[in-house]
Amino acid sequence: MNCNADLLDEKGFVEASLKAIERANMKLAVTCGENPVHYRITDDAMGGGVSVNALITTSHLTIHSAMKHRIVEFDCATCGQNSYPEKALEVFKQFLKTNTVKVHFKNF
């Protein structure tokens, strides 16, 4: 994605992840630790970025940003028959202020 949003906005990425999970009719898994797990880095080879990994009851939702290339990688896997990962992607498209999305979809 060619993004116009702040790709180091860790709080925004977490909030968007939680909203995406809700909109996609998925449920955040109850874990013994923090969920979603998130971190921000400013001095890596990709120019810094944010990563969020949320465990959902049927698999996961993960997102990584890369400042240097102004891109975000979004990965959502679910075995939920009534889950809609495409709705999660729509939440991120709005949050990231992008019109350009490249989708690689795998249906098992």
Has residue 49 been placed in a domain? yes
Has residue 106 been placed in a domain? no
So what's the pLDDT on residue 35?
Answer: 97
Find the domain containing 61 and state its range: 10-96
Residues of the chain with pLDDT under 50: none
Has residue 101 been placed in a domain? no
Locate 4 and state its tokens. 């116009």
Q: Is 79 a catalytic residue?
A: yes
So what's the pLDDT on residue 46?
Answer: 87
The pLDDT tens digits for 27-50 are: 999 999 999 999 999 988 888 999
So what's the pLDDT on residue 102?
Answer: 82
Could you give the 3-state DSSP secondary structure of residue 50? strand
Has residue 86 been placed in a domain? yes
The CATH number of whichever domain residue 77 belongs to comes to 3.60.90.10
Choosing from 38, 51, 60, 64, the catalytic residue is 64
Has residue 104 been placed in a domain? no
Q: Is 64 a catalytic residue?
A: yes
Edge-first strand order for the sheet with 49-56 is: 37-41, 49-56, 59-66, 71-78
Has residue 20 been placed in a domain? yes
Has residue 3 been placed in a domain? no
Could you give the 3-state DSSP secondary structure of residue 81? coil
Choosing from 59, 65, 76, 83, the catalytic residue is 59
So what's the pLDDT on residue 2?
Answer: 64
Contact indicator for 54, 62 with CB cutoff of 8 Å: yes
Domain tally for the chain? 1
> Is 0.85 surpassed by the pTM of this model?
yes
Has residue 4 been placed in a domain? no
